[in-house]
A and B are shown apart, each in its own frame.
Chain A
Amino acid sequence: MNFDLTEERQMLQDSLRRYLRDKYSTATRNEILESAAGMSTDVWAQLAELGVIGALFTEEQGGFGGAGFDIAVVFEELGRAGVVEPFMDSALIGGRILAACDKSDLVEEMIGGGLQLAVAHGEPTSRYDLSHVRTSVDGGKLNGRKAVVMNAEMADHLIVSARTSGDVADEAGISLYLVAKDAPGLTIQGYPLLAGGRAAEVTLDGVEGELLSEDGFAVLSDVIALATTAQCAETLGAMDTATRLTNDYLGTRKQFGRPIGTFQALAHRMADMLIEMEQARSAVINAAGNLNEETRIRDLNISAAKNLLGRAGRLIAEEAIQMHGGIAMTQEYELAHIAKRITMADHRFGDTDHHLERFIALSAA
Chain B
Amino acid sequence: MDLSYTDEELAFRDEVRAFMRDELPKEMSDKIRLGEELGKEGQEKWHAILNSKGWLAPNWPKKFGGAEWNAVQRHIFEEEAAAHHAPRIVPFGLSMLAPVLQKFGSKEQQDYWLPRLLEGKDWWCQGYSEPGAGSDLASLKTRAVRDGDHYIVNGQKTWTTLGQHANMIFCLVRTDPDVKQQEGISFLLIDMNTPGIEVRPIILLDGTHEVNEVFFDDVKVPVENLVGEENKGWTYAKYLLTHERTNIAGVGFSQAGLNTVKRIARAEMAGGKPLMANPHFAARVAQVEIDLKAMATSNLRIISKAAAGGAPGVEASMLKVKGTIIRQEINDLARRAVGPYAMPFASEAIEGSNEALPDPHEAGPVAAQYFNNRKLSIFGGSNEIQRGIIAKVMMGGGQ
Contacts and interface: CB of A to CB of B under 8 A. Distances in A.
Interface of A: 122, 124-125, 127-129, 145, 147-148, 169, 191-195, 199, 201, 254-257, 263, 265-266, 314, 318, 321-322, 325-326, 328-332, 336-337, 339-340, 343-344, 346-348, 351, 353-354, 356-357
Given A192-B344, A329-B204, A318 B350 contact: no
Given A147-B341, A192-B345, A347-B343, A331 B207 contact: yes
A191 B346 contact: yes
B148 to A, nearest CB: 35
Contacts of B377: 322
Give the top 3 A-B pairs by smallest Cβ distance, nearest first.
Answer: A191-B349, A336-B205, A255-B136
B378 A322 contact: yes
B382 interface: yes
B281 interface: yes
Interface residues of B, number: 56
A79 B269 CA distance: 31
Contacts of B342: 194, 344, 347
Contacts of B129: 326
Main secondary structure of the interface of A (DSSP, over half): mixed
B349 A124 contact: no
B135 interface: yes
Contact of A124 (B204, B353, B368, B388): B353
Contacts of B241: none
Contacts of A351: 336, 339
B272 A169 contact: yes
Contact of B343 (A194, A201, A254): A194
A329 B375 contact: yes
B135 A325 contact: yes
A193, A314, A346 — which one has the most chain B CB atoms within 10 A of its CB?
A193
Nearest to B379: A326
Main secondary structure of the interface of B (DSSP, over half): mixed
B356 interface: yes
Interface of B: 129, 132, 134-136, 139, 158-159, 202-207, 211, 268-272, 275, 278, 280-281, 284, 332, 335-336, 339-346, 349-350, 353-356, 367-368, 370-371, 374-375, 377-379, 382-384, 387-388
Contacts of B203: 330-332
B134, B159, B343, B371 — which one has the most chain A CB atoms within 10 A of its CB?
B343
Contacts of A125: 269, 354-356
11 contacts: A147-B354, A169-B272, A194-B345, A255-B139, A256-B139, A326-B158, A326-B378, A329-B205, A330-B204, A340-B371, A343-B335
A129 B340 contact: no
A82 to B, nearest CB: 13
Contact of A201 (B350, B367, B374, B375): B350
A147, A266, A348 — which one has the most chain B CB atoms within 10 A of its CB?
A147
Given A147-B340, A322-B383, 12 more contacts: A124-B341, A127-B271, A147-B354, A194-B206, A201-B353, A255-B136, A265-B387, A329-B205, A329-B374, A331-B204, A346-B336, A348-B343
